[in-house]
């Protein structure tokens, strides 16, 4: 049994493992995911959910008591589920885009500039990280429930703001670390 192994050449290791070293990283990742049956099933379910959300206005049955039945007020459950899927998909796309628009530039600025910008980002991220994500989201939603912002659009704006704050700062911290590491790389210094 060897305690210390010799360093291996990554290209030779990739050739020995059957991976194509000439393919890009996304190509290799996609190749591994495409071989998984679970990934295919998850992708199929996600595609069905997005199609249901996009086609909700045209495909929703208008009658009562169709495939999923009716609720206590007599409304069709399938139609309401399709309408809720539309709101859910749009909210998640908007929130994810907002997180990226906040986190990436903020993290790059803090990582590149350093100084007080980096310190402020680090302290904000620490304050948000003190609380578990779910607890922070609940506290934020309850705090702004009575405001005009909390009553608009069924309470989605405070939830959106809390999600963008929590995950935007987490994204910014990750991008900050990558930026600080790349800032010292030889190709950047030259």
Model confidence pLDDT, tens digit, residues 35-65: 888 888 998 998 988 888 888 878 777 665 5
The contacts of residue 137 (CB under 8 Å, 6+ apart) are 159, 162, 163, 166
pLDDT at 110: 92
Beta bridge partners of 76: 70
CA distance 134 to 87: 21
Which pLDDT tens digit goes with each residue over 13-25? 555 555 566 788 8
Listed in sequence order, the DSSP H helices in 17-114 are 25-34, 37-54, 56-59, 77-113
Name 180's bridge partners: none
Looking at the whole model, is its pTM more than 0.75?
Answer: no
Long-range contact list for 78-87, CB < 8 A, 24+ apart? 82/52, 82/53, 82/55, 82/56, 83/56, 85/49, 85/52, 85/53, 85/56, 86/53, 86/54, 86/56
pLDDT at 87 (0 to 100): 86
pLDDT above 60 (res 156): yes
Res 97 pLDDT > 90: yes
User: What does the pLDDT read at residue 9?
Assistant: 52
| Alpha carbons 50 and 86: distance in angstroms, whole number | 8
Q: pLDDT band for 3, please (50, 70, 90 cuts).
A: low
pLDDT category of residue 95 using cuts at 50, 70 and 90: very high
What's the CA dihedral at 24, 28, 29, 33 to 10 degrees?
A: 150
pLDDT at 168: 93
User: How much of the chain is helix, strand and coil, in % rounded to 5?
Assistant: 75, 0, 25
CB 144 within 8 A of CB 136: no
Query: Whole-angstrom Cα distance, residue 89 to residue 79?
Result: 16
Q: Answer whether residue 106 shows pLDDT above 80.
A: yes
When the pLDDT of each residue in the chain is averaged and rounded to a whole number, the result is 81
pLDDT of residue 104: 95
Backbone torsions φ then ψ of 70, nearest 5 degrees:
-125, 155
Residue predicted with more confidence, 103 or 22: 103
Q: Evaluate if residue 71 carries a pLDDT over 80.
A: no
């Amino acid at each position: 049994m060897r305690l210390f192994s010799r360093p291996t050449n990554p290209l030779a290791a990739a050739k020995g493992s059957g991976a194509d070293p000439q393919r890009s990283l996304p190509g290799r990742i996609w190749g591994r995911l495409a071989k998984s049956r679970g990934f295919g099933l998850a992708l199929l379910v996600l595609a069905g959910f997005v199609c249901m959300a996009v086609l909700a206005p045209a495909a929703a049955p208008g009658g009562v008591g169709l495939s999923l039945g009716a609720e206590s007020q007599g409304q069709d459950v399938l139609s309401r589920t399709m309408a809720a899927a539309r709101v859910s998909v749009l909210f998640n796309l908007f929130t994810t885009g907002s997180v990226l628009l906040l986190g990436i530039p903020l993290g790059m600025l803090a990582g590149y500039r350093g100084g007080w910008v980096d310190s402020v980002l680090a302290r904000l991220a620490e304050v948000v990280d003190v609380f578990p994500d779910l607890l922070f989201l609940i506290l934020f939603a309850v705090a702004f429930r009575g405001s005009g912002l909390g009553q608009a659009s069924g309470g989605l704006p405070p939830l959106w703001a809390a999600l963008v704050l929590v995950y935007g700062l987490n994204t910014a911290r990750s991008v900050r670390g990558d930026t600080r590491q790349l800032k010292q790389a030889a190709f950047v210094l030259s």
